[in-house]
Structure 1
């Protein structure tokens, strides 16, 4: 059963891929959805056995790599951490598969799309069930390839294949750090097996390593290198630029990749490596700082964007920052709790946005929306639920998990923890602001779409709205149901050995005893953000433009995403393009081809041209040539034998 959880999506992907050759779209949809629903069912059973029942298990499939002393087995690790991720991945993915039947109904390559979705799910499941770093890297690269295929699914659009290439290249930067981290771990531990690494971490903590000519703490170097890999996959500050462009893929792709699966892989990896990272305090501080800066950076950008999917995408980036700084202060259970609740309400928001886009004839610009809430009541209600959960209002899922992260950051009683707390509070205010900005601009006010578009506005079919209802249940109840298990009194028993926290790192325990104002502040800030958005976009509708004009440099900084794309283009992309063009023209074309095949063929061509001019076809030319030959021959004979 455990193996079927992972390999059913792969089987569905293969069958759907074969069916796509004969354009059997309906059959591909049935196969892939059935496989995911079965995988979800088995994941629920596995969660009951492993996480609730406390019966972790490892399934050994085969010997994968054996080279000298290096051994990597193909094994599936099922502990509480894996069981939680299985529910998240298969739960969201199955809803996305069902939703895609309606959303992609007019596409002529539905079978191929469903095959890509299932392939992505398989790679993600392989990642979360990995029993060693190399197997994790296999899943890591698998989701990278699958995301490239999904983001660039509409490959005839220049923006789509450019976005796919950008995501692939930026992730390779992070993956290079991940690969170096794996090599560093193997050099230190002599193994890539998690159990071996975790058992020796306390001993290796006192070891130094020679890195770039410096003697540095070994675990700190390995931890930071591995975190660089997580930064790429989870779109943290510096390696985040691929995320907004990835919205060029179909909306179900956005929900699958940017809500619950690919972008959370980095958070999962950090939590998986907690037994090692706990002995690398500087690496944890780096994770905290980057996470906190990402949370506030993405929130500032999100409140100025007009593409409905990009607003939600930057929201994802910001929420991932919360998860990382939670892990950085050793509150791994809080990070995983927010990862789980976030999966439900963020997938709900993305799919809800897709329903809005579907209703408005593929319109994504908030400035061309408005006045549709009565025509799409189900979608409207679902977007409200998702926004309330995202903003962290009481009794919705995000309230329990996000507030626990902020309380843990405050309870850490460290410089980086305090910084994370205050930046996280400011990000909470901005999150509520841009969430209600989106709601008001998309659904309320006078219609800004054309009369023709408004005449076709309609609620999405049930195959699209039913997954929204399922995700909405998770967005409402996941926090309340999971609180005691994930971060409450049953936390240690629930997580068992899958998460390790040093006794000296007490932020998770102390989070339950912070002052009342720490618990209330995020709620007050979220309410203030909602109130400000309502005032500016529902009543004082001219104010946003006036504020943007008054603070134009700041507004442009946020609107242009802090100019990271322009900076990277100036520093890396343009020089690389110019250098590549120089190598192509001077190296490849002029040198290699010039002196190689092109040069030789040109020489032969010229030589044959000269020879062809000799063969004129006129008899008097040949007679003259013969006469010259006779003269040369006689002269040679005369000169040679004259002396004799």
Structure 2
């Protein structure tokens, strides 16, 4: 059963990819969907067995690498974290596969697309079930490869090519950091197995790396490199630029990347290494600072986006910030709970957006939409549910995790644990709630409620999604409504023992009990901020003075609006200070001066000319006359004698020298 969960998506991907020409588009779609669906059913059984029975299944298959002290097995670890992640990955992937059958109906390369979706799911399953860092890194790289293939699925489009390359290159930075972290782990622990690493972390808290005369705390340095990997994969501030551009792929790809697979890998890595992070206060503070800044930046930038999918993409970036700074507050269980809840309503939002785009002839600019509530009432209802869950509306799924994270920021602030970072998380996280509500309902107004701005011809083609596309949306909507309420006490309730030993939290880092006794005004603060954001969005929509309201609110005239609208110039700065200098160096120095200059003149061009000249000289020498050959032999003997003479002059006496001179005169 455990192995089948991983192998079924792989088999579906292989058969769909290599036999799609014979089994057809429908056959490939049904095959991959059935395989992933069976894996989802088995994941439910694993969740029941692991989560409620309190057992851990550790399967060792065979030795993968054995060299000296390095010994790596093919192994699978099924604990409570893995069982929950399996539910998220396989269930969301099954619904995305089901949705894609109709969404990609007219695409001639549907078997290849379904194969890519399944291989994406397979590599994510490898990542979460690995029992060692090297096998996890295999899944980590495989997820990056699959994302490149899916973003670049329509490979004839230049924008898709550029976005896929950008995603791959930016993630290289994070992958390099993760690989350095793996090297450091092996240097300190002499092992890459989770069981060996986590069991001896407290005993190696005093280990240091020495570099250039300075000492670095070993666990903090390992955590820092792992965090760089998480920053790249989970699109935190600095390496976030690939995430909005990933919208160039088909909409089901966006739903799978943002809800269940790629972007959750970094958060999963931080949660998995909670035993290591707990012993580094510096790293916990760093997580809080980066996570809160990411939530604030992405929320503010999302307000000014006009592309329907990019608004939801920046929403993902913001919610990932919440998960990261929740890990920084040592609330790993709450972070994982928010990851699960976020998967439901984010998949709902993306697939609903795909339904809208599918209905309006592939138009994605919200300014060209409007009045779709009259044409797509079911899609409007489902997207409204997803937006309310995203804003943390009471008693919806997002409310039980997102609001609890904000309550925990108050607790950490009261306890004076790293006052700067906790205060930063408190204020930036609270302001991000306002931004989230604003852009969520701005999306609703521009897409569904405002007057229609599209071409009249498009109005005759607008239609509601088919049952096959609508059924995954309905199931996700049910999860967005009830999942948080039904599982809150199980995952993050006071005194719950669900996570067993898979999540480690030091006793003085836990604030769950304190959060229950916060004043009622603080508990209502996120909801009030959400209401304020909805009201501001409604006012801006009704009065049509959106830009002027923001100008008066910020009082920084056009500059601040332009700065936010340009996404804080991250792309421009990267191009100016990194990309352009690298391109100039590559062309002027590496290509013109070295490749086309020194190297080409010295070896290919220069050597060929030298050989050509010598060949001409040899051709002149080899003229077939024996007297010339005798002359060359005598000259050679004289040169040889001269060399020997030098040797005799240096090492022998004068008698030998006189004999040599007589012999030389005789030859001449």
TM-score normalized by structure 1? 0.92
1:467-487 deviation digits (Å, cap 9, x = unpaired): 111111111111101100111
1:586 Cα deviation after fit: 2.2
**Alpha-carbon contact 1:352-1:383 (below 8 Å) kept:** yes
From 443, 448, 455, the counterpart of 1:443? 448
Q: 1: CA distance between counterparts of 2:19 and 2:449?
A: 43
1:440-479 matches, cutoff 5 A: 440-479=445-484
Q: 1: CA distance between counterparts of 2:239 and 2:265?
A: 15
From 584, 587, 593, the counterpart of 1:586? 593
Matched residue SS, 2:77: strand
Q: Which residue of 2 aligns with 1:423?
A: 428
Asked if 1:534 corresponds to 2:541, the answer is no
Q: 1: CA distance between counterparts of 2:614 and 2:198?
A: 72
1:518 Cα deviation after fit: 1.7
1:22 Cα deviation after fit: 4.9
**Alpha-carbon contact 2:13-2:32 (below 8 Å) kept:** yes
Matched residue SS, 2:346: helix
1:29 Cα deviation after fit: 0.7
TM-score normalized by structure 2? 0.89
Change (3 A) 1:581 1:49: same
1:490 Cα deviation after fit: 4.9
Q: 2: CA distance between counterparts of 1:22 and 1:189?
A: 51
**Alpha-carbon contact 2:494-2:512 (below 8 Å) kept:** no
1:508-527 matches, cutoff 5 A: 508-527=512-531
**Alpha-carbon contact 1:3-1:59 (below 8 Å) kept:** no
1:140-194 deviation digits (Å, cap 9, x = unpaired): 1110111011111111111101111111011010111111111111111111111
Q: 1: CA distance between counterparts of 2:41 and 2:355?
A: 27
Q: Which residue of 1 aligns with 2:558?
A: 552
Q: Which residue of 1 aligns with 2:603?
A: 596
1:1-36 deviation digits (Å, cap 9, x = unpaired): 011111111111111110235582221111110110
1:357-436 matches, cutoff 5 A: 357-413=357-413, 414=417, 415=419, 416-436=421-441
Q: Which residue of 2 aligns with 1:641?
A: none
Q: Which residue of 1 aligns with 2:580?
A: 574
Q: 1: CA distance between counterparts of 2:549 and 2:534?
A: 20
Q: Which residue of 2 aligns with 1:253?
A: 253
Change (3 A) 1:479 1:269: same
Q: Which residue of 2 aligns with 1:290?
A: 290
Change (3 A) 1:446 1:604: farther
**Alpha-carbon contact 1:20-1:109 (below 8 Å) kept:** no
1:376 Cα deviation after fit: 0.8
- Number of corresponding residues: 617
| Larger deviation, residues 513-522 vs 546-555 | 546-555
1:163-182 matches, cutoff 5 A: 163-182=163-182
1:373 Cα deviation after fit: 1.0
Q: Which residue of 2 aligns with 1:622?
A: none
Q: Which has the larger radius of gyration?
A: 2
| Root mean square deviation of aligned Cα | 2.3
Matched residue SS, 2:500: helix
Q: Which residue of 2 aligns with 1:231?
A: 231
1:328 Cα deviation after fit: 0.3
| Larger deviation, residues 178-187 vs 590-599 | 590-599
| Larger deviation, residues 204-213 vs 67-76 | 204-213
Q: Which residue of 2 aligns with 1:328?
A: 328
Matched residue SS, 2:153: coil
Matched residue SS, 1:498: coil
1:211 Cα deviation after fit: 4.1
Q: 2: CA distance between counterparts of 1:566 and 1:126?
A: 36
Matched residue SS, 1:446: coil
Q: 2: CA distance between counterparts of 1:134 and 1:577?
A: 33
1:225 Cα deviation after fit: 0.9
**Alpha-carbon contact 1:64-1:73 (below 8 Å) kept:** yes
**Alpha-carbon contact 2:494-2:513 (below 8 Å) kept:** no
**Alpha-carbon contact 1:32-1:97 (below 8 Å) kept:** yes
Q: Which residue of 2 aligns with 1:202?
A: 202
Matched residue SS, 2:375: coil
Q: 1: CA distance between counterparts of 2:34 and 2:617?
A: 72
Q: 2: CA distance between counterparts of 1:115 and 1:212?
A: 49
Q: 1: CA distance between counterparts of 2:550 and 2:215?
A: 52
Gaps of 5+ in 1: 615-628, 637-644
1:369 Cα deviation after fit: 0.6
1:608 Cα deviation after fit: 11
Q: 2: CA distance between counterparts of 1:157 and 1:430?
A: 33
Matched residue SS, 2:394: coil
Matched residue SS, 1:24: helix
Gaps of 5+ in 2: 632-668
Change (3 A) 1:607 1:209: closer
From 490, 497, 503, the counterpart of 1:485? 490
Q: Which residue of 2 aligns with 1:319?
A: 319
Q: 2: CA distance between counterparts of 1:473 and 1:247?
A: 26
Matched residue SS, 1:74: strand
Q: 2: CA distance between counterparts of 1:602 and 1:100?
A: 61
